[in-house]
Amino acid sequence: MNAETPVCQLLERQGADYRGWLWVAPPRDAWLEAGEGSLLSADEVVLAAWRARGRAAYSPFEGVEPAPPGAVLFWPKSHALGEWWLLWLCAHLPPGIPLKLVGENQGGIKRVLKALAALGLGCRKLDSARRCGLYATRLARVGLDPDEAWTSFEAAGIRLVSHPGVFGHGKLDDGTRLLLGQLPGVLGEGAGDMLGDVLDMGCGDGILAAWLARRGARVTALDVGHFAVEATRRTLAANDLEGEVLASDVYTALGERRFDAIVSNPPFHQERAIDYGPAGRLILEAPDHLHPGGQLILVANAFLPYPDLLERAFGAFEVLADDRRFRVYRAVKG
């Protein structure tokens, strides 16, 4: 089976023996999923795909057993996240293990030279093709704790915990701010209001989940990213709030559960590419997860084609707010 993505095509042409190696934060690629080695990823979609094939797959919040003979890190577009993966590998895998780093030029792979030098790790370039680069080093203890990447800040009266792998890391997204301004009018303002069972889809750092829980909602929060799941759990704990937080590819983890409301600031990017798939599923499958009279409330960039999806799913919708950059939509299940 041939590799599908440019980064995997570059690896494939090396003809290296990757038996037992650890693939760290890779994209979906059938060549990898049908090949050798195990997976370390914070993406629930990728984890589920590997596990469905009976392959060993781990979240960074679980640890890796046993130690692999080598690892390949797929450099993400977020340089801060790439540095975190480096620190995690240095802290959790035995020193001396060979590490290869691969990524697209537009994704910043050439910056790994400075990142490795800053950690005192040597580096050599192995290959380049398909606008990608491949580098090699060996892991060592570097004296830096990857947990130091977790930061906290306050927004909307809530203490938020964030990580470089979380959407809007370290700040309140403008779209979420607009959405928060509309929620009291449609869900209720005070803690005495019975908000019922509310789903926060794509929970990020947990700002919506915490806002809802503080006002008495029974909150379930989902995200495909394990960094976001962990951030939301930490945010709820930091504010002495309760809620169920799950890793899930849209509604997959819920079964047939239904809610009184679904709130979301859904993502539309997968790395640098626009991807309407998850948001499309969020909208089109929402009626199956709402009680009669339940409502979907979401914010999105104004240019995104969500009105057509809302019409298909609900028959009608309303625009609660529009600041020309973002729109807040509301649709009710009949």
Q: Are 136 and 100 in contact (CB under 8 A)?
A: yes
Summarised one tens digit per residue, pLDDT across range 112-169 is 999 999 999 999 999 999 999 999 999 999 999 999 999 999 999 999 999 999 988 9
Tokens of 332: 């009710």
Residue 253 one-letter amino acid: A
N-term to C-term CA, the chain = 48
Residues of the chain whose pLDDT is less than 50? 192, 269-275
What pLDDT is attached to residue 199? 98
What pLDDT is attached to residue 271? 44
Residue with tokens 């169920």: 244
pTM of the model: 0.93
- State the CATH architecture for 6-145: 3-Layer(aba) Sandwich (3.40)
Q: Which residues pair with 161 in a beta bridge?
A: 152
Relative orientation angle of helices 207-214 and 226-238, to the nearest 10 degrees: 30
Q: Which CATH superfamily is domain 150-332 in?
A: Vaccinia Virus protein VP39 (3.40.50.150)
DSSP 60-98: TTT--SS--S-EEEE--S-HHHHHHHHHHHHHHS-TT-E
What pLDDT is attached to residue 210? 98
What pLDDT is attached to residue 190? 52
What pLDDT is attached to residue 193? 54
Residues of each domain in the chain carrying CATH 3.40.50.150 = 6-145, 150-332
User: CA-based Rg of the chain, rounded to a whole angstrom?
Assistant: 21
What pLDDT is attached to residue 268? 64
Residue 200's SS3 state is: strand
Query: Long-range contact list for 66-69, CB < 8 A, 24+ apart?
Result: 67/93, 67/94, 67/97, 68/20, 68/21, 68/22, 68/37, 68/38, 68/93, 68/97, 69/19, 69/20, 69/21, 69/97, 69/98
For the purposes of burial, counting CB atoms within 10 Å of the CB of 196, is it exposed (0-12), middle (13-18) or buried (19 or more)? middle
Q: Where would I find the H helices in 223-303?
A: 226-238, 277-284
Q: Which residues pair with 158 in a beta bridge?
A: 155
What DSSP designation does 225 have? B
